[in-house]
Chains A and B, each alone.
Chain A
Amino acid sequence: MKCHEFDRKICGADIVLTGNPNTGKSCLFNQLTTADAIVSNYPGTTVEILEGKTAISNKVLHVADLPGIYNLGSSSDDEKVATDYIIERKPGVIVNVVDATLLERNLYLTLQLLELQVPMVIALNFYEELEDKGISIDYKNLSTLLGAPVIPIDALRGAGIDILTKTIDAIIRGHAKFDYYHVQYDDHIEKAIDKIEKIIEEDNIPKRAAAINLLEEDDGEWKKARHKERIRSIIDELSKEHALNTEIARERHGQAALIAQKVMIMEKPKKHFKDFLDRFTTEPLTGGISLVLVMGAIFLSLFTIGNYLSELLGKWFDILITNPSAPLIKMIPTTILQTIFSWGIQGVNAGLQIALPYIFIFYLVLGALEDTGYLPRMAYLLDRLMHKMHLHGNAIIPMMLGFGCSVPAVLATRILPNKKDRILTSILICMIPCSARTAVIFGAVGKFIGAGYALLIYGIVLLLIFAVGYILGKFLPGESTGLIMEMPEYRLPQLKNVLKKTWMRVKDFMWIAFPLIIIGSAVLGILKVYGVLEVITKPFSPIISGWLMLPTIAGITLIYGILRKEMALELLFVLGGSSSLLKFMTPLQIFIFTLVVALYFPCIGTLAVLRHEFGWKKSMTICLFTIVLAVTIGGLIGRLFFAMGIPK
């Protein structure tokens, strides 16, 4: 049990948090450890195993937070990851986080976990919400029935956590005796369990649990039993007459229902504003209206608050940094150092003015939206639209995250049940304007041409996404599972959590993007002084100035944009030597430049995550595709506008 003495890879964490999706595991994880896991209100926020440390009675314990699952199995990538972790590595204590408001459904997994005979404690989260729902749960009786401790907690506000840690401590210290509730299956299944139990030799989980799992998952991948053929024949024989997975599921659900009935008293729930909100946002007509309102609000807040902040930051940067530093820089003896300093400062200025305000505001809004529980409703409302792209509503959540950053969005596609959906959604995510690209759209087109044109860029990009999905969906092979997604309760976003999430998502920008901008600007400065810049831009000029009708300097910024998308625009300011694009570019050029930035190559970070998830070949194909698309569309749209009488 003392895992830290052994190899962690084999042994797993001391404490494992597991439970249904959206039960607050990551929230509890943050409470137990000093880690900062992203917490949101939709199923599938956590798609990777998160690890942290906690100290209980002066002992350092390792804690793992697993993706939420409904079942120990392998019906999706995240479910497989969590199941493998629990089954293959023996955790010291399982903390089964249960949504108290959905006790019966949650108990299904609990009963399955109990079969593993691992020391376990049940954390009854959202206990404080029960009263509003007219439910009362006799958690002590529940504990007696299950044979495992049950602790009511409020993971968000931290109530009950101390009792929970004491219980975990007691389990780890003492040789906790457990006499768990035992699901009795139908006779024919019990007989098969007996037979298989005698054959299998694995000892990482109890033989009974292994046998049940084999019967349930007739092609589960963890099945590495030595006597495969003999087990296979028992299962095959039984499968002729019985649907084992369904029968076992039905039995477990039945017994979960019985237990829930014994400990729960239900009264008529109080009427709440959130019930009204739920109806308003999911009824056919009002649902559509609310969708438009939400999207409009995001756009408007970016445009108004983002622009305001951008100008404010620009003004103060000039007063505090640019103006006082100008005479100082002039005193530097060499031109090369002068250029490095002045360009570096301009780079920081551009970063502050362009990227930060829009990225910050967007994440603030996204974080709040995630916490309300609206994203799954969007998935529901847009399911039919997604069918046109041969996808389902569930792809909406990763795509919405894609408006923030493509990297976590591509990871979030793990909630999708099959490879085809994952790849297609990832391709579309690469085309979705992430917050960095949003910063370019607003900081260039929005600020210098107008909100209408910024909206037009979104329109063009979304139309292209739709077209690509429509065409690729037809040709990509594979069968697609439909939408199956739990609708979480509406909850009021907690300011603290939203701010924390925003900070975690923006801090990368501070630590990575700013140094990059400074270095990038300085390097450009040096290249310019030595006259190398012209040499580099020359080979690209047929595409950049010929086809895309942009100034040649734009080409070099597009190369930098591969590192981070917003750098393309920031360096354009630096190279142009002015904080107004209009001084060296026409409105049409700004428009084309922005469109190209929005579409081409989804930055180096995204390439890395694509490669990790799908391999080199597929990820490079996706990137090349976006470059070709961006250049083609940029030139075409430019010519179209030019033909309509808009001057070059």
Chain B
Amino acid sequence: MKKEDYLEEIYKIQYRNNRFAKVSELAHALKVSDPSVSEMIRRLEKEKLVTFERFGGVSLTALGIREARKVIRKHQLLEVFFTRILKIKKASHEEAHLIEHVLSDAAADKLDNVLEKPKFCPDGNPIPKKDSEVIELTKLPAKSKAEVIFVATKNKACLERLNSLGLVPQAKVRVVRKLSKGPLILNVKGSDIALGPNVCATIFVEKK
């Protein structure tokens, strides 16, 4: 199993579930043993692609998310190519999975152009844009707009509050004010919400 596969799977779990990924579920999804997952996670942690807490699980860093999205983009573009151009319906997922690792960034961009920059993959999931800037909300400068990718917090009360305020994956947000290294005021669904820096650090966004 390659590093990219892990990143991709962690991303999928976090994006879908808005929570940390567990070692056991990664092992199950990638069909490998728990210890090999743990070993890979240690490697990814060293490369600053993920953070790992024994009782919380694995979470991608902003860098990890960017890497994961690169692979996912290739995968999804290939899927579009298979279904739209080659008219292959079945098994396009598995084939895309094999090719994504060897497809160069330049080739992926060409493919994107040929396909006229598709927005969604055949399953209806949004395809990440090229060079999309993924950062923690803390790093988003004042006045800029972004879209929430996911929230990585173990704190249930915090997650529930964010959910009910509308800070869910794909929500559009705008930084209204910001204090240096401090809290910021975020416009979500028309209302201004002050968020402390430690809350912001758990929210990953794509800068628009």
Interface of A toward B, CB cutoff 8 Å: 70-71, 73, 75-76, 101-105, 108-109, 219, 240-243, 245-246, 249-250, 253, 257, 279, 282-284, 287, 376, 379-381, 383-384, 387, 392-393, 417-418, 479, 481-487
Complex Cα distance, B199 from A387, in Å, reads 13
9-residue interface stretch from B62-70, B98-106, B116-124, B188-196: B188-196
Cβ 8 A contact of B191, one of A105, A241, A479? A105
Cβ 8 A contact of A384, one of B17, B182, B200? B182
Residues of chain B with a CB closer than 8 A to A387's CB: 196
Apart from A250-B169, A283-B177, A384-B181, what are 9 other A-B pairs with CB-CB below 8 Å? A75-B157, A76-B161, A104-B189, A253-B166, A253-B171, A479-B155, A482-B196, A486-B193, A486-B194
- Min CB distance, B199 to chain A, in Å? 4
Complex Cα distance, B194 from A287, in Å, reads 14
Can you identify 24 A-B contacts, CB atoms within 8 angstroms? A71-B163, A76-B161, A103-B190, A105-B166, A105-B190, A108-B164, A240-B25, A243-B17, A249-B164, A253-B166, A283-B177, A381-B179, A383-B182, A383-B197, A384-B182, A384-B183, A387-B196, A393-B194, A417-B158, A481-B161, A482-B197, A485-B194, A487-B192, A487-B194
Q: B149 near A: Cβ within 8 Å?
A: no
Complex Cα distance, B188 from A485, in Å, reads 12
Interface of B toward A, CB cutoff 8 Å: 16-19, 25, 151, 155-166, 168-171, 177, 179-183, 185, 188-200
Cβ 8 A contact of B190, one of A104, A109, A219, A246? A104
Q: Would B177 and A73 count as touching, CB distance under 8 A? A: no
Residue on A nearest B156 in the bound complex, by CB: A75
Q: Would B155 and A481 count as touching, CB distance under 8 A? A: yes
Q: Would A484 and B177 count as touching, CB distance under 8 A? A: no
Residues of chain B with a CB closer than 8 A to A103's CB: 190
Cβ 8 A contact of A242, one of B16, B164, B192? B16
Residues of chain B with a CB closer than 8 A to A245's CB: 159-160, 163
Residue on B nearest A107 in the bound complex, by CB: B189
Residues of chain A with a CB closer than 8 A to B192's CB: 486-487
Residues of chain A with a CB closer than 8 A to B17's CB: 241-243, 246
Residues of chain A with a CB closer than 8 A to B16's CB: 241-243
- Min CB distance, B137 to chain A, in Å? 11
Complex Cα distance, B13 from A241, in Å, reads 8
Among A240, A387, A485, find the residue whose CB has the most chain B CB atoms closer than 10 A.
Answer: A485
Q: Would B185 and A282 count as touching, CB distance under 8 A? A: yes
Residues of chain A with a CB closer than 8 A to B179's CB: 284, 287, 380-381, 383-384
Complex Cα distance, B161 from A105, in Å, reads 13
Residues of chain B with a CB closer than 8 A to A486's CB: 165, 191-194
Q: Would B193 and A284 count as touching, CB distance under 8 A? A: no
Residues of chain A with a CB closer than 8 A to B157's CB: 75-76, 417-418, 481
Q: Would A393 and B169 count as touching, CB distance under 8 A? A: no
A-B pairs with lowest CB-CB distance, top 9: A483-B196, A71-B164, A482-B196, A243-B17, A249-B163, A482-B199, A246-B18, A70-B164, A75-B157
- Min CB distance, A37 to chain B, in Å? 23
Residues of chain A with a CB closer than 8 A to B193's CB: 484-487
Q: Would B159 and A383 count as touching, CB distance under 8 A? A: no
- Min CB distance, B158 to chain A, in Å? 5
Cβ 8 A contact of A70, one of B25, B161, B177, B183? B161
Complex Cα distance, B166 from A257, in Å, reads 10
- Min CB distance, A485 to chain B, in Å? 5
Complex Cα distance, B160 from A242, in Å, reads 15
- Min CB distance, A414 to chain B, in Å? 13
- Min CB distance, A287 to chain B, in Å? 8
Cβ 8 A contact of B18, one of A105, A243, A392? A243
Residues of chain A with a CB closer than 8 A to B189's CB: 102, 104-105, 253, 257
Q: A104-B189, A242-B16 are contacts. A383–B160 as well, Cβ < 8 Å?
A: no
Q: Would A481 and B158 count as touching, CB distance under 8 A? A: yes
Residues of chain B with a CB closer than 8 A to A76's CB: 157, 161
Q: Would B155 and A383 count as touching, CB distance under 8 A? A: no
Cβ 8 A contact of A484, one of B19, B25, B161, B190? B161
Residues of chain B with a CB closer than 8 A to A282's CB: 177, 185
Residues of chain B with a CB closer than 8 A to A487's CB: 185, 191-194
- Min CB distance, A139 to chain B, in Å? 17
Residue on A nearest B167 in the bound complex, by CB: A484
- Min CB distance, B168 to chain A, in Å? 4
Cβ 8 A contact of B195, one of A71, A108, A249, A483? A483
- Min CB distance, B146 to chain A, in Å? 17
Residues of chain A with a CB closer than 8 A to B165's CB: 70, 105, 484, 486
Residues of chain A with a CB closer than 8 A to B194's CB: 376, 379-380, 383, 393, 483-487
Residue on A nearest B158 in the bound complex, by CB: A481
Complex Cα distance, B25 from A296, in Å, reads 57
Q: Would A71 and B160 count as touching, CB distance under 8 A? A: yes
Complex Cα distance, B197 from A481, in Å, reads 11
Complex Cα distance, B192 from A481, in Å, reads 19
Q: Would A246 and B164 count as touching, CB distance under 8 A? A: no
Complex Cα distance, B179 from A287, in Å, reads 10
Residues of chain A with a CB closer than 8 A to B185's CB: 282, 380, 487
Complex Cα distance, B188 from A257, in Å, reads 12
Complex Cα distance, B166 from A287, in Å, reads 27
Residues of chain B with a CB closer than 8 A to A392's CB: 196
- Min CB distance, B57 to chain A, in Å? 13
Complex Cα distance, B154 from A66, in Å, reads 29
Complex Cα distance, B188 from A146, in Å, reads 23
Complex Cα distance, B91 from A365, in Å, reads 71
Residues of chain B with a CB closer than 8 A to A483's CB: 183, 194-196, 199
Residues of chain B with a CB closer than 8 A to A283's CB: 177
Complex Cα distance, B185 from A111, in Å, reads 26
Residue on B nearest A377 in the bound complex, by CB: B194
- Min CB distance, B33 to chain A, in Å? 19
Q: A105-B189, A243-B18, A282-B185 are contacts. A484–B195 as well, Cβ < 8 Å?
A: yes
- Min CB distance, B1 to chain A, in Å? 20
Complex Cα distance, B179 from A108, in Å, reads 30
Complex Cα distance, B24 from A240, in Å, reads 11
Residues of chain B with a CB closer than 8 A to A257's CB: 189
Q: Would B164 and A243 count as touching, CB distance under 8 A? A: no
Residue on B nearest A379 in the bound complex, by CB: B194
Q: A246-B18, A383-B196, A485-B193 are contacts. A284–B160 as well, Cβ < 8 Å?
A: no
- Min CB distance, B154 to chain A, in Å? 9
Residues of chain B with a CB closer than 8 A to A71's CB: 160-161, 163-164
